[in-house]
Structure 1
Amino acid sequence: MEKQAATQFPTLESVTRPTVETASAAHYLNRRPQTLRGWACHEDGPLRPVRINGRLAWPVADLRRLLGVA
């Protein structure tokens, strides 16, 4: 299973897009996607997503800052 996750999600350092979808953000934070959706709904988590056409997008810069990745 570890190998499958590695192929599905690139390392956070190699992500070049400004945002990632909920499943990717959950993978990097080691949380379930539903936890991140709860943070977005209640606005009580350590990160705030942006909404793009009604979908959640999590800023990569905020993820890196939270995880301490340069």
Structure 2
Amino acid sequence: MENANSLGDLKVVPTGEAASLLGLRPQTLRKWATYGGPIKPVKIGGRLGWPAADLKRLLRGE
């Protein structure tokens, strides 16, 4: 999938970029962080980051 390829060598993706790749709003990913969702974020310096490997799997439908 094209979006999965655009992640390149990134290990963690910021919320805004992850939301854009998934076609979602950043608020949706923040809800996933609070209430649970298909992937779990990591916290980096008080901000949410989304593991690129998990995003790739989600984009592929795995």
Q: TM-score range by the shorter chain?
A: 0.7 to 0.9
Provide the rounded CA distance (Å) in 2 between the counterparts of 1:16 and 1:36: 21
| Residue segments in structure 2 that go unaligned for 5+ positions in a row | none
Contact 2:40 2:50 in 1 (8 A): yes
Which residue is equivalent to 1:18? 11
* TM-aligned CA deviation for residue 12 of structure 1: 3.5
Contact 2:12 2:50 in 1 (8 A): yes
Q: Please, what TM-score do these two structures have when normalized by structure 1? A: 0.74
| Residue segments in structure 1 that go unaligned for 5+ positions in a row | 1-10
Contact 2:12 2:52 in 1 (8 A): yes
Which residue is equivalent to 1:66? 58
Matched, 1:48 2:37: no
Give the alignment's Cα RMSD to 1 decimal.
1.5
